[in-house]
Structure 1
Amino acid sequence: MRGRMALEVRLSREMRLIDITMIGVGAMIGAGIFVLTGIAAGVAGPALLLVFLLNGVVALLTAMAYAELGSSFHDAGGGYLWVKTALPDPNGFLSGWMSWFAHAVACSLYALGFGAYFHLVLTAAGAPEIQLGFLTLEKWLAVVVCVLFAYINFRGASETGKAGNVVTVGKVIIILAFVGTGVWVMLTRRPDWQAAFQPMLSEGWGGVFAAMGLTFIAFEGYEIIAQTSEEVENPKRNVPRATFLSLLIVVPIYLLVAVVAVGAVSPPAGVSVTDYLGQAKETALVTAADQFIAGGGVVILIGGLLSTLSALNATIYSSSRVAFAMARDANLPSLLSKVHTVKATPHWAILFSAVLIVFMAVALPIEDVAASADIMFLLLFVQVNIAAMRLRKTRPDLDRGFKIPLMPLIPILAIGTMLFLAVFLFAHYPRSLVATGGWVLVGAWVYYAYARTREAALVERTEWMGRIERKEYRVLVAVSAPRTLDTLMQVGMAVAKRHAGELVVLSVAEVPDGESLLTGRRTCRELEPLLEKAVAYAEQRGVPAMPVIKIARRVSHGIVETAREEECNFIVIGQPHRQSIFERIVSSVVERVLQNAPCQVAIVYGRMPKDGPRGVVLPTTKGANAELAAELVPAFGSWFDVPVRAVTVIPSEVPQHEADQFIAEAQETLTTAGFPGELKVVRRRDVVTGLAQLLRVRDLVVMGAPSTAPIAALFGDTVPAALARRGQHPVVVVRDVEQQRVHRFERLFFRKG
């Protein structure tokens, strides 16, 4: 179908090995090393060096899983895609849910780091200490910068391409300058620097493990390399290389930072170096650089501000895009998948992510924020390692550019170490348990109460429409009485012929509640002649047809279930244009089919003239359903061999500027659908009157349904029912698979004036 074909969109492979390596390095050497080094020194003591070394080993274990899977799957998506592919539900949903939280909380950490660093800048400039309400100045600065970068992301700004490489190189140069001056201080001013590392395990192994968990976020970043797989030259070779190269660059730099932070800093009398750094917390590197060289603290401040700002931008971007992707997959409310019409950004996803980021920054101390983010990343990496083991068994056919050695020993070691670190973080930072545990529990509730059924319906819709691309097309025609058989069959055959498909002719034998379904067999015998007539009717006109009788307690359920079983892409069903109030209140079969059918549906009002229609008329509005109608109208014209024309009626009450907009929208619908004719525009008192005046006797009307809102009104008439009742004008109303927002222009066509 033109305008709705599932085109395969591919990203240009323009990124080289150096580009994706720098992405990984830039993501790891972010705000974490600036903000967390002092805090970790206070927790682990001189064993800070051991903390960074062991974290490098732990990161390497999971990096192998990312290298193998990133070299095998060359689509954007990374861990979320692999977990969803390899593991049963709700793992896929929870991986996305935790990824959203992890990136949002990491953003909170960077915002707090920015607040601390900028507070130092204000203090150095002589600004007075102030307390604004219940928050400190640092917290307010964190809130302000979160809001600012949320707005920047809404505007569409992001750090990309060569500019991202420049920022990364700048951060590395500042860190290396810090290391270089620190080594110089150790060699010239601190001949006894080795004593600062004694005793190495002053805080015990418990301090080491707690600090490992706390600083693990500084080693998180290499996984972003896998997310670039669709844009990389030769991803099978370059993704694994970049993953290991980034760690090879970053881990030695971190070890050197730990050496100079502990070995080159001179603490006040009576205070150990690591206690001194721990007291300075997120500004410890600034304090150390000020001791190394005049102006060194300013340089680190610049590096810290650069890192926090770039990390803020990246994590707000990534957290909002995770929420956007989950909403697009029907895991979250569709509101979060909305894209701003002007800025082309997911503004609602950005807003909700920003609210989450600000709340975590305000509600928790920086240590608990870091612990919460670390725990979520640890749990995500556990899922990825399990997925790697699972896919090695279930998908041996994958073309892997790298294979994890000693499978499954390496992933098992990675899973064990990460769960071990998560437990230590829970023990040392109990508030992080409340935050992360609460988020996971809420996610489980959202999945089972909301996302599971929506996602299943989306998968069905996608699979069914995919069959259209493969020309595996089936149209289900639901028949119940001889008097409407010809009309429904004509509509179904016209659609099937367009796709070179076949018909499934269905009659449902309805059995009341309380009776055995076997009692429906008597009705089946009564329905057999009707189905035989329908199949003969189709085959005489060159369309293959298969009869099906379904015994069900509800006609609507029988129709939808048969469409699913027979893998149909389109349903044709009749709708009486005269219904009692009671019938409307209890909901019609049509409404129930529309509610549950994950495929295109046509609702037919009235009966086709014996000599066939005189022409086909398309009342044109805006939206996916209107486009589907415009695509189908030429098929009806070809099937009946009659002319087709498009019209739009603007009610007299509508102001001229709105009328012009409606006309432009209708014309856009025709252009998108590839409709061959011109659009005729008239203004009348109401839509029904206007259309009735434009129609000739025996004209067939084909129109799109309102995207939401019922087909049958509770009181009064809809336009299709009114037209079918007024004269010999059969009306076909079509609804596309995807439901869109109802436009006011659509409503005008489905409201009787």
Structure 2
Amino acid sequence: MSDEELAKDLGPLAALTIGVGTMIGAGIFVLPGTAVLRVGPLAAVTFVLGGVIALFTALSASELGTAMPKSGGAYFYINEALGPLFGSISGWANWLGLAFASAFYMYGLGEYVNTLVGAPAVALGPLSLEAAQIIGLIGALFFIAVNYVGAKETGGLQIVIVLMLLGILGIFTFVGLLNANLDSLTPFAPPGAVGDVLPVTAIVFVSYLGFVQITSVAEEIKDPGRNLPRAVIGSVLLVTVVYALFLVVLLAAVPNELVAGNDTAVVDAASLLFGQYSIFGFDLSLLGWGLLLFGGLLATASSANASILSSSRINFAMGREKIITPNLNEIHPRFGTPYRSIAVTGALILVFLLLGNLELLATAGSVLHLIVYGLLNLALIVMREAEPPGYDPDFTVPLYPFVPIIGAITSFALIIYIEPLVILLSGGLTLFAALWYFLYARRKVENAGVLAEWILSRSDELPETAVSAATSVRPEGDDYRVMVPLANPATEKHLITLASAIAHQYDGTVVAVNIANVPDQTSLEAARERGAHNAAHDLLEQAQSDAETFGVNVETHVVLSHRTFEEVFDAARTYGADVTVMGWGEDSHGAPGRAESAIDELAKSLPCDFLVFKDRGFDASRILVPTAGGPASDLSAGVARVLQAEFDAEVTLLHVTDDEELGQEFLTEWADEHGLSDAELLVETGDVEANIARAAEDATMLVIGATETGLLSRLVRGSLVLEVLYDVDCSVLLTERAHKRGLYDRLFGSSDRSTDTAATGVTTEPKTPDLCNPEDTPRTDDE
């Protein structure tokens, strides 16, 4: 479940070895041959440069990790800061990148084991599997099982593996130093090698994929405020020093020709160096060969183990944030691990092992991680600039903002040096992650992210395009949003009261908006500079104060516009409104009886449900709801339920018909279907408008569905709602559902309407909770 927590089982040494164990693998045992072939002794510089680039991201990751020690690491920080769209991209990239890397390490493990045992290839139907793949599949199953039983066992195994590996590398370095000759390092920069430094750095950067993975288990680290930065930064520094020292010693101790282009250069070099020594007459070349071969086995095994551990936690965090199904969050009752996440991750690793090759698996993992690293640095900038509540890191990045800016630029820039086919594959996966958000996750996630909230809170200062962009990707599973366009201080309190009552019942947010009209002759930028919106802030501050008395969240926005009424509809779209509550004046717009203006009637559809309030004092004690059925009266019923729950209102339902018996049957059934079975039922015959006016004499508020009569028909013969509006003394609340209609219906009205109050047309599927849905029962004060 989403409130499950992971036990803090990982000490500082275990956390450090997760990063070191993931990084010390192909960087030493495979890539030196490729690097030396292209840049000679400058290969050592490429590894150092890769470490420096990684260090910038390590610093950013450390600050974010101490501020938010949550499982998921980089994914969680990006999702929290940049929002769920980038969270989806980073989550899938990090998760799949680690799965690719794990498959690569297991494939490498298979290669080393196959060197010892010489296993044959196997054909499984149409698939022909190399011996390394078969061995890698067996190894993957083993490490998946180890992770399944718990992080504590994993951390203990990781410590043993890494310490043994560092010991083997230390022995090799010591023997290499005894045979080092600095002349072997000349020329240090062969002709043309300098221009290849960055491309080679991009290749060897795959060796630095492990440090951020420490943050993915931050929720399980003891004292993360202290131990997490030490583990993250320390792992990068330690591995960079090991890489540089090891490679310099390697190139100084053996001929460069032995290393260049040789994927087994380390093993061959060990055989050569140890072969110069003997004990009791026994040549030690076989010992050196076996020692480094065993080291290669440990390196690939530790890298795979740490990657599986971290990738399953990212998968777990994505489920917790509903980017993927939260069912993956379930914690094993015995082992305390997200066992479903580990199982899914393990399945992906096995599939990649079956279908991929060494080069594809390695480079795909590298590109996907560079995308994540670039976004992670941007996430730090957002958190620093937005200063959200609760952001209080124990460790802060020095030299801000230069560190995260350089980290973002260098991470994204290195991608261009990767094989184009792999970049295309990674781009396709990124597109998939974005589509996944829009087609699946957007309806489920709730957290809009710090960046979106920061932009929307400054909507009057920032360009409209930025505000629209932030809203266009806003999650649809976010809280219920009630927008209130405000202009008149005299009616502000009543509109806010109505909006707050709805928001309170559905744990939603009131979005108070003032649309400041700017003459066409004045540019919006000029109006902003001269403070044309300043007067609106007093009105919005009062609105915020009034709304907060209901205990609801409040947003306030000022919109500068050359339009007034039409801007309301754009604002509803921009701020993601589920329902808009607005005032009704004598000549508010050119379409009596509807929420839309005449121009908007022809050009647009309602973006959300609308409640239009004719204010004759706010008193919700006795509410009259006339109904003949239809979506508009469904919304009227929803409003009545809210007011009944919030103000203990008495609700009367009115149905005017020619047959009282059928009318009583209809109204009883309608009341039950709309959660108003306890309302007073009133069935009348005769003139519809006269009966509504007569029943409204005892009401304090009339809630009625807006007419669906078309534009031309209304202009010719008027509107039912308009006449009732002026015949009653109480306040009137017009309700109209979000809808999309064709041009014919816009001009002449819906062909299947039975009465003016039966709103028809094609309704859009509302968000949840739905004001019209009786199953979305408003809460009571004792809940």
Fold similarity call, TM over 0.5: yes
Task: Indicate the residue corresponding to 2:173 in structure 1.
Answer: 179
Alpha-carbon shift at residue 50 of structure 1 (Å): 1.0
SS of the residue aligned with 2:427?
helix
1:432-482: CA deviation from partner (whole Å, max 9, x where unpaired): 123211111111111111111221499898969xxxxxxx995579xxxxx
Q: 2:379 aligns with which of 387, 402, 410?
A: 387
Q: Report 1:186-201 matches (<5 A).
A: 186=180, 191=181, 194-198=183-187, 200-201=189-190
- Specify whether residues 249 and 310 from structure 1 end up closer, same or farther in structure 2 by C-alpha distance, changes over 3 A only: closer
- Specify whether residues 533 and 367 from structure 1 end up closer, same or farther in structure 2 by C-alpha distance, changes over 3 A only: same
Moved more, 26-35 or 432-441: 26-35
1:92 aligned partner, one-letter code = G
- Specify whether residues 218 and 348 from structure 1 end up closer, same or farther in structure 2 by C-alpha distance, changes over 3 A only: same
1:210 aligned partner, one-letter code = P
Alpha-carbon shift at residue 47 of structure 1 (Å): 1.8
Task: Indicate the residue corresponding to 2:299 in structure 1.
Answer: 307
SS of the residue aligned with 1:517?
coil
Moved more, 46-55 or 131-140: 131-140
1:133-178: CA deviation from partner (whole Å, max 9, x where unpaired): 6332223322343344445545658743444322221121112122
Task: Indicate the residue corresponding to 1:680 in structure 2.
Answer: none
1:223-262: CA deviation from partner (whole Å, max 9, x where unpaired): 2343454455554444333333333322111112212332
- Specify whether residues 57 and 167 from structure 1 end up closer, same or farther in structure 2 by C-alpha distance, changes over 3 A only: same
Q: Report 1:116-135 matches (<5 A).
A: 116-123=111-118, 134-135=128-129
> Aligned pair 1:287/2:268, yes or no?
yes
- Specify whether residues 100 and 227 from structure 1 end up closer, same or farther in structure 2 by C-alpha distance, changes over 3 A only: closer
SS of the residue aligned with 1:134?
strand
Is the 8 Å Cα contact of residues 51 and 237 (structure 2) preserved in structure 1? no
Q: State the alpha-carbon separation in 1 of the partners of residues 231 and 504 from structure 2.
A: 47
Q: Report 1:213-252 matches (<5 A).
A: 213-232=202-221, 234-252=223-241
Is the 8 Å Cα contact of residues 29 and 266 (structure 2) preserved in structure 1? yes
Question: Hey, which of these two has a bigger chunk of helix by percent?
Answer: 1
Q: State the alpha-carbon separation in 1 of the partners of residues 151 and 392 from structure 2.
A: 36
Q: 2:445 aligns with which of 455, 464, 477?
A: 455
Q: State the alpha-carbon separation in 2 of the partners of residues 565 and 354 from structure 1.
A: 52
Q: State the alpha-carbon separation in 1 of the partners of residues 62 and 320 from structure 2.
A: 27
- Specify whether residues 139 and 564 from structure 1 end up closer, same or farther in structure 2 by C-alpha distance, changes over 3 A only: farther
Q: State the alpha-carbon separation in 2 of the partners of residues 153 and 559 from structure 1.
A: 54
Q: 1:414 aligns with which of 367, 388, 407?
A: 407
Is the 8 Å Cα contact of residues 70 and 218 (structure 2) preserved in structure 1? yes
Alpha-carbon shift at residue 99 of structure 1 (Å): 0.8
Task: Indicate the residue corresponding to 1:353 in structure 2.
Answer: 345
Q: 1:441 aligns with which of 401, 422, 431?
A: 431
Q: State the alpha-carbon separation in 1 of the partners of residues 271 and 349 from structure 2.
A: 32
Q: State the alpha-carbon separation in 1 of the partners of residues 188 and 99 from structure 2.
A: 38
Q: State the alpha-carbon separation in 2 of the partners of residues 100 and 548 from structure 1.
A: 55
Q: 1:255 aligns with which of 234, 244, 255?
A: 244
1:369-422: CA deviation from partner (whole Å, max 9, x where unpaired): 222111111111111111112222111874344433332222222222222211
1:636-693: CA deviation from partner (whole Å, max 9, x where unpaired): xxxxxxxxxxxxxxxxxxxxxxxxxxxxxxxxxxxxxxxxxxxxxxxxxxxxxxxxxx
Q: State the alpha-carbon separation in 2 of the partners of residues 71 and 441 from structure 1.
A: 31
SS of the residue aligned with 1:422?
helix
Alpha-carbon shift at residue 14 of structure 1 (Å): 7.1
Is the 8 Å Cα contact of residues 43 and 203 (structure 1) preserved in structure 2? no
Structure 2, unaligned stretches of length 5 or more?
Answer: 275-284, 449-474, 481-501, 508-549, 553-578, 582-590, 597-608, 652-665, 668-672, 680-773
> Aligned pair 1:326/2:321, yes or no?
no
Task: Indicate the residue corresponding to 1:578 in structure 2.
Answer: none
Task: Indicate the residue corresponding to 1:532 in structure 2.
Answer: 621
SS of the residue aligned with 2:114?
helix
> Aligned pair 1:36/2:28, yes or no?
no
SS of the residue aligned with 1:455?
coil
Task: Indicate the residue corresponding to 1:369 in structure 2.
Answer: 361
Is the 8 Å Cα contact of residues 213 and 371 (structure 1) preserved in structure 2? no
Q: State the alpha-carbon separation in 1 of the partners of residues 396 and 440 from structure 2.
A: 38
Structure 1, unaligned stretches of length 5 or more?
Answer: 465-471, 478-499, 509-513, 536-546, 574-587, 590-601, 609-731, 738-753
Task: Indicate the residue corresponding to 1:91 in structure 2.
Answer: 86
Q: 1:52 aligns with which of 38, 47, 50?
A: 47
- Specify whether residues 565 and 97 from structure 1 end up closer, same or farther in structure 2 by C-alpha distance, changes over 3 A only: farther
Task: Indicate the residue corresponding to 1:112 in structure 2.
Answer: 107
- Specify whether residues 521 and 147 from structure 1 end up closer, same or farther in structure 2 by C-alpha distance, changes over 3 A only: closer
- Specify whether residues 342 and 296 from structure 1 end up closer, same or farther in structure 2 by C-alpha distance, changes over 3 A only: same
Is the 8 Å Cα contact of residues 442 and 477 (structure 2) preserved in structure 1? no
Q: State the alpha-carbon separation in 1 of the partners of residues 623 and 400 from structure 2.
A: 60
Q: 1:432 aligns with which of 409, 422, 428?
A: 422
1:170-223: CA deviation from partner (whole Å, max 9, x where unpaired): 12111212212222233xxxx4x5235435345624532232122213223222
Task: Indicate the residue corresponding to 2:98 in structure 1.
Answer: 103
2:401 aligned partner, one-letter code = P
Moved more, 224-233 or 253-262: 224-233
SS of the residue aligned with 1:90?
helix
Q: Report 1:594-743 matches (<5 A).
A: none
- Specify whether residues 183 and 457 from structure 1 end up closer, same or farther in structure 2 by C-alpha distance, changes over 3 A only: closer
Q: State the alpha-carbon separation in 1 of the partners of residues 644 and 417 from structure 2.
A: 53
Q: 1:209 aligns with which of 174, 198, 205?
A: 198
SS of the residue aligned with 1:330?
coil
1:141 aligned partner, one-letter code = I
Q: State the alpha-carbon separation in 1 of the partners of residues 645 and 37 from structure 2.
A: 63
1:582-604: CA deviation from partner (whole Å, max 9, x where unpaired): xxxxxx99xxxxxxxxxxxx997
Is the 8 Å Cα contact of residues 25 and 168 (structure 1) preserved in structure 2? yes
Alpha-carbon shift at residue 61 of structure 1 (Å): 1.6
Task: Indicate the residue corresponding to 2:258 in structure 1.
Answer: 273
Q: State the alpha-carbon separation in 2 of the partners of residues 362 and 15 from structure 1.
A: 32
Moved more, 91-100 or 292-301: 292-301
Q: Report 1:464-503 matches (<5 A).
A: none
Task: Indicate the residue corresponding to 1:702 in structure 2.
Answer: none
- Specify whether residues 450 and 201 from structure 1 end up closer, same or farther in structure 2 by C-alpha distance, changes over 3 A only: farther
2:594 aligned partner, one-letter code = L
Q: State the alpha-carbon separation in 1 of the partners of residues 45 and 642 from structure 2.
A: 58
1:555-611: CA deviation from partner (whole Å, max 9, x where unpaired): 66677799999999xxxx9xxxxxxxxxxxxxx99xxxxxxxxxxxx9979879xxx
Is the 8 Å Cα contact of residues 158 and 314 (structure 1) preserved in structure 2? no
Q: CA RMSD in A?
A: 5.2
1:174 aligned partner, one-letter code = I
Alpha-carbon shift at residue 501 of structure 1 (Å): 11
Q: State the alpha-carbon separation in 2 of the partners of residues 284 and 564 from structure 1.
A: 75
Equivalent pairs, count: 518
- Specify whether residues 209 and 139 from structure 1 end up closer, same or farther in structure 2 by C-alpha distance, changes over 3 A only: farther
- Specify whether residues 476 and 220 from structure 1 end up closer, same or farther in structure 2 by C-alpha distance, changes over 3 A only: closer
Q: State the alpha-carbon separation in 2 of the partners of residues 405 and 556 from structure 1.
A: 58
Q: State the alpha-carbon separation in 1 of the partners of residues 644 and 33 from structure 2.
A: 64
Q: State the alpha-carbon separation in 2 of the partners of residues 172 and 566 from structure 1.
A: 71
1:279-308: CA deviation from partner (whole Å, max 9, x where unpaired): 3x2x33222222222212212222222232
SS of the residue aligned with 2:179?
helix
Q: State the alpha-carbon separation in 2 of the partners of residues 88 and 81 from structure 1.
A: 10
1:678-732: CA deviation from partner (whole Å, max 9, x where unpaired): xxxxxxxxxxxxxxxxxxxxxxxxxxxxxxxxxxxxxxxxxxxxxxxxxxxxxx9
Q: 2:370 aligns with which of 378, 382, 385?
A: 378
